[in-house]
Amino acid sequence: MPLSPEELERIESLTLAHYDGLAEDFWAATRSHDVSQNIAALLTHIEAPPPWTLLDFGCGPGRDLRTFSQLGHVAIGLEGAPQFAEMARAYSGCEVWQQNFLSLDLPASRFDGIFANASLFHVPHQELPRVLGELRTSLKPGGVLFSSNPRGEGQEGWRGQRYGAFHDLAGWRALMTSAGFVELAHYYRPTGLPFEEQPWLASVWRKP
């Protein structure tokens, strides 16, 4: 059965409240995470001349937003949790838009790249085609979208106070290609481990 508007609102509000309530602990736990492989996967596939305008979709407290800015790019964050948005502005010095994933208001053809690291899995499966379409519209022609999410086998639901949808490669490919993207690369993280010990599926896509 499709999720009702009331159920979608509950999913969004409870998930954001979870992150807001644990904002400082989350920042302490993730501040030193090395996602340089993911950042490189996005940047190496952008073909326009730099500096680039980049959207950090679900920027959290601003770790990667600051990295993009320090590399000389125009980095804009998008974050639904109010505490994270405030932290990201303070830490990165960048513009941060406080927007919920299910009610986006994005400019068309603005970004050379979108970095969606550990964020899109919070979008319920039924809403992903619309959200991916909105992200595609916000990319310039030839722009690149990077995503990394915990992988699964198509299951969806609550894990504690967070809602998530967990996709395998075939399912994610179907969603992305239906949204008009062309696959550039994919890999599993952390690198160098057996497949069963690589819970993250990363992929890179271009808007034709």
Q: What is the CATH number of the domain that holds 50?
A: 3.40.50.150
Sign of CA dihedral 97, 98, 101, 106: negative
| Range(s) of the domain holding residue 90 | 5-206
Going residue by residue through the chain (208 aa), what tens digit of pLDDT does each one get? 899 999 999 999 999 999 999 899 888 999 889 999 999 999 999 999 999 999 999 999 999 999 999 999 999 999 999 999 999 999 999 999 999 999 999 999 999 999 999 999 999 999 999 999 999 999 999 999 999 999 999 999 999 999 999 999 999 999 999 999 999 999 999 999 999 999 999 999 999 9
Q: What is the C-alpha separation between 183 and 60, in angstroms, rounded?
A: 26
Question: In total, how many domains does the chain have?
Answer: 1
Residue 173 CA: distances (Å) to CA of 98, 148, 163, 177, 208: 28, 13, 21, 6, 16
Take residue 68 and report the two structure tokens written for it: 């993009």
Q: What is the C-alpha separation between 42 and 155, in angstroms, rounded?
A: 27
Q: What is the identity of the amino acid at 19?
A: Y
- Residues found in the chain: 208
